């Protein structure tokens, strides 16, 4: 069933993205007076064909649904001479600015789709983790700013003044910190706790783009906090069983520090292999049995536990494990915006993601980021299925993210991609001379080699993730 969901979600995602991208080319080509011969979804053998009696365009669905194309009337791509009366409708006979508009329309359509999808998510509302922070790791920017854990971040502004921007959720906080990190700014975070609202100055000037990855929030010292960490199960013979932990115990603290984040708790346990820890647990009437059974809200107990030392297969190092299954219930908030604000936020989120994608690709080129960040169709299908199972908002957000990636990829100045053709036309616009067919052929071969290499790396990464290589 999961495989079927992944395949259906992948087919829907690819179908929507390809149709939108190619329709961008098609619609602007028609506006510029270019005759479109074929609009194809997929490659290879046609499975369905229909010719429009009005425009003469052949609409096709082909066997290999991993892309698509729009074929326009072009003197350079036809084997037979074009009739004189049809020449004004040929792509190559259009002005250089019309050709630029037609080629750029595909990626622009992907960006517009992302804006609309994000706006729908923001307008319909989504339940997200609240911007409550856990106790930060020592010497991280969050710790140096003065966060103790348990604070709810409500606003952010520049340290030099300016308008304060509200922080509505953990996702909202992440994006605001991402933008400030790229700009190497000092910012002020306003946060509420039991004592009121306080300001925390966060210095991001020392954070380089090399540090910006999927774990960059953890690098800054920010982890979701305020959650309820509960023991869901205990493995027989484990350190947890020997210490007396049972299913239903709520973990309140470890060595005096709040235990409200599973990731931070597990990392702390891993770093204390063979070293005794003190857990503060809360037990209620559904917790332990016998002497531990209580009535009412529960009672607190301190439990001494020594994590067992085990070899980590990924790193080869000895890490601590206690053998307990954890369940986390994090505080959440329903986030909903008005129509105008949703469009504004959708445009801003699309811009931020596009800039982030370009910077990440640049870092991979210069060796500052791993090529493991490249993903192929297998990973996309996997995430399509996972997001579809999470609900409409998650799937629409995933679709918007992939649409942005497709738009950015096609704008890269690599021949055979839209960006390569745009580069040719920009050179023509500046110099007044068309790039010669000989040089275009050389660049086409080089560009094709780049695409094949990138595809091979992405496919290798997909397989490596599947077999945990």
Query: pLDDT (tens digit, 9 = 90+) per residue, 356-403?
Result: 888 777 777 776 666 676 777 777 777 778 787 778 888 898 899 999
For residue 319, being part of any structural domain is answered with yes
Instruction: Pick the range with the lowest mean pLDDT from 24-38, 409-423, 445-459.
Output: 445-459
The answer to whether residue 295 scores a pLDDT higher than 60 is no
CA 365 to chain centre: 20
For residue 14, being part of any structural domain is answered with no
Looking at per-residue pLDDT, the higher value among 162 and 195 belongs to: 195
Task: Looking at the structure, tell me whether residues 274 and 193 fall in a common domain.
Answer: no
Q: Which of 194, 220, 246 is the last residue of a domain?
A: 220
For residue 176, being part of any structural domain is answered with yes
Instruction: Pick the range with the lowest mean pLDDT from 51-55, 319-323, 456-460, 465-469.
Output: 465-469
Task: Looking at the structure, tell me whether residues 260 and 346 fall in a common domain.
Answer: no
Classify residue 19 as exposed, middle or buried by CB count within 10 Å of its CB (0-12, 13-18, 19+): middle
The answer to whether residue 294 scores a pLDDT higher than 50 is no
Question: What is the number of structural domains in the chain?
Answer: 3
DSSP string for 153-172: EEEEEETTEEEEEE--SHHH
What CATH number is attached to the domain comprising 188?
2.30.42.10
Task: Looking at the structure, tell me whether residues 290 and 343 fall in a common domain.
Answer: no
Q: Is-contact 32 98, C-beta < 8 A?
A: yes
Rounded average pLDDT over 148-164: 86
Instruction: Pick the range with the lowest mean pLDDT from 23-27, 233-237, 286-290.
Output: 286-290
Task: Looking at the structure, tell me whether residues 321 and 354 fall in a common domain.
Answer: no
The answer to whether residue 350 scores a pLDDT higher than 80 is yes
Task: Looking at the structure, tell me whether residues 318 and 411 fall in a common domain.
Answer: no
For residue 115, being part of any structural domain is answered with yes
Supply the pTM of this predicted model: 0.74
Instruction: Pick the range with the lowest mean pLDDT from 133-142, 241-250, 442-451.
Output: 442-451
Task: Looking at the structure, tell me whether residues 210 and 277 fall in a common domain.
Answer: no
pLDDT > 70: what percent of the chain?
91
Task: Looking at the structure, tell me whether residues 458 and 394 fall in a common domain.
Answer: yes
- Quote the mean pLDDT of the chain: 85
Q: In whole angstroms, what is the distance from residue 166 CA to residue 95 CA?
A: 47
Q: Which of 185, 220, 255 is the last residue of a domain?
A: 220
Rounded average pLDDT over 404-422: 89
- Report the pLDDT value the prediction gives residue 135, as an integer from 0 to 100: 84
Q: Which of 220, 252, 287 is the last residue of a domain?
A: 220
Q: Is-contact 105 121, C-beta < 8 A?
A: no
Task: Looking at the structure, tell me whether residues 163 and 107 fall in a common domain.
Answer: no
For residue 441, being part of any structural domain is answered with yes
- Name the band, by pLDDT with cuts 50, 70 and 90, for residue 468: low
Domain that holds residue 233: 228-329
* Strand-by-strand arrangement of the 186-193 sheet: 161-166, 152-158, 186-193, 196-203
pLDDT in tens, 54-101: 889 999 999 887 788 999 998 877 666 788 888 899 998 899 999 999
- Name the band, by pLDDT with cuts 50, 70 and 90, for residue 213: low
Task: Looking at the structure, tell me whether residues 324 and 346 fall in a common domain.
Answer: no
For residue 183, being part of any structural domain is answered with yes
Classify residue 438 as exposed, middle or buried by CB count within 10 Å of its CB (0-12, 13-18, 19+): exposed
Bridge partners, residue 70, by sequence: 39
Q: Which helix (H) or strand (E) holds 145?
A: helix 141-145
The answer to whether residue 107 scores a pLDDT higher than 50 is yes
Note if 22 is an active site residue.
yes
Q: Which among 6, 22, 151, 223 is annotated as catalytic?
A: 22
The answer to whether residue 49 scores a pLDDT higher than 70 is yes
- Report the pLDDT value the prediction gives residue 240, as an integer from 0 to 100: 92
For residue 234, being part of any structural domain is answered with yes
Dmax (CA) of the chain: 97
Q: Which of 468, 451, 228, 222 is nearest to 330 (CA)?
A: 228
Classify residue 374 as exposed, middle or buried by CB count within 10 Å of its CB (0-12, 13-18, 19+): buried
- Name the band, by pLDDT with cuts 50, 70 and 90, for residue 287: very low
For residue 417, being part of any structural domain is answered with yes
- Report the pLDDT value the prediction gives residue 353, as an integer from 0 to 100: 86
């Amino acid at each position: 069933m999961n495989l079927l969901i992944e395949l259906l979600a992948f087919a829907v995602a690819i179908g929507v993205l390809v149709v939108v991208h190619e329709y961008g080319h098609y619609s602007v080509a028609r506006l510029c007076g270019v005759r479109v011969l074929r609009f194809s979804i997929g490659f290879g053998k046609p499975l369905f064909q229909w010719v429009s009696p009005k425009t003469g365009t052949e609409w096709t669905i082909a066997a290999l649904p991993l892309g698509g194309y729009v074929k326009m009337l072009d003197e350079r791509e036809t084997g037979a001479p074009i009739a004189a009366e049809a020449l004004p409708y040929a792509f190559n006979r259009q002005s250089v600015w019309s050709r630029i508009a037609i080629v750029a329309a595909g990626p622009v359509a992907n960006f517009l789709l992302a804006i609309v999808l994000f706006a729908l998510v923001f307008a319909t509302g989504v339940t997200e983790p609240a911007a409550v922070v856990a106790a930060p790791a020592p010497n991280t920017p969050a710790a140096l700013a003065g966060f103790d854990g348990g604070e709810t971040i409500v606003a952010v502004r520049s340290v030099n003044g300016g308008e304060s921007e509200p922080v509505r959720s953990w996702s909202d906080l992440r994006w605001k910190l991402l933008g400030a990190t790229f700009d190497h700014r000092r910012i002020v975070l306003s946060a509420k706790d039991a004592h009121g609202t306080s300001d925390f100055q966060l210095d991001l000037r020392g954070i380089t783009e090399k540090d910006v990855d999927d774990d960059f929030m953890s690098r800054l010292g920010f982890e979701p906090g305020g959650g309820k960490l509960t023991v869901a199960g205990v493995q027989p013979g484990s350190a947890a069983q020997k210490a007396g932990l049972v299913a239903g115990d709520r973990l309140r603290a470890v060595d005096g520090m709040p235990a409200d984040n599973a990731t931070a708790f597990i990392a702390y346990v891993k770093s204390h292999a063979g070293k005794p820890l003190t857990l503060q647990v809360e037990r209620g009437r559904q917790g332990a049995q016998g002497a531990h059974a209580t009535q009412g809200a529960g009672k607190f107990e301190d439990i001494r536990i020594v994590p067992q030392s085990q070899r980590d297969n990924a790193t080869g190092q000895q890490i601590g494990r206690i053998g307990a299954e954890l369940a986390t219930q994090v505080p959440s908030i329903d986030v909903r915006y008005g129509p105008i604000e949703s469009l504004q936020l959708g445009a801003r989120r699309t811009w931020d993601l596009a800039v982030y994608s370009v910077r990440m690709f640049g870092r991979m080129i210069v060796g500052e980021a791993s090529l493991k960040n490249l993903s192929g169709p297998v990973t996309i299908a996997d995430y399509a299925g996972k997001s579809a199972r999470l609900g409409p908002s998650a799937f629409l957000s995933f679709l918007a993210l992939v649409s942005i990636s497709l738009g950015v990829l096609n704008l890269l100045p690599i021949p055979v991609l839209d960006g390569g053709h745009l580069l040719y036309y920009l050179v023509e616009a500046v110099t007044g001379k068309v790039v010669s067919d000989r040089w275009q052929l050389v660049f086409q071969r080089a560009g094709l080699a780049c695409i094949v290499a990138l595809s091979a790396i992405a496919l290798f990464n997909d397989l490596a993730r599947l077999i945990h290589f």
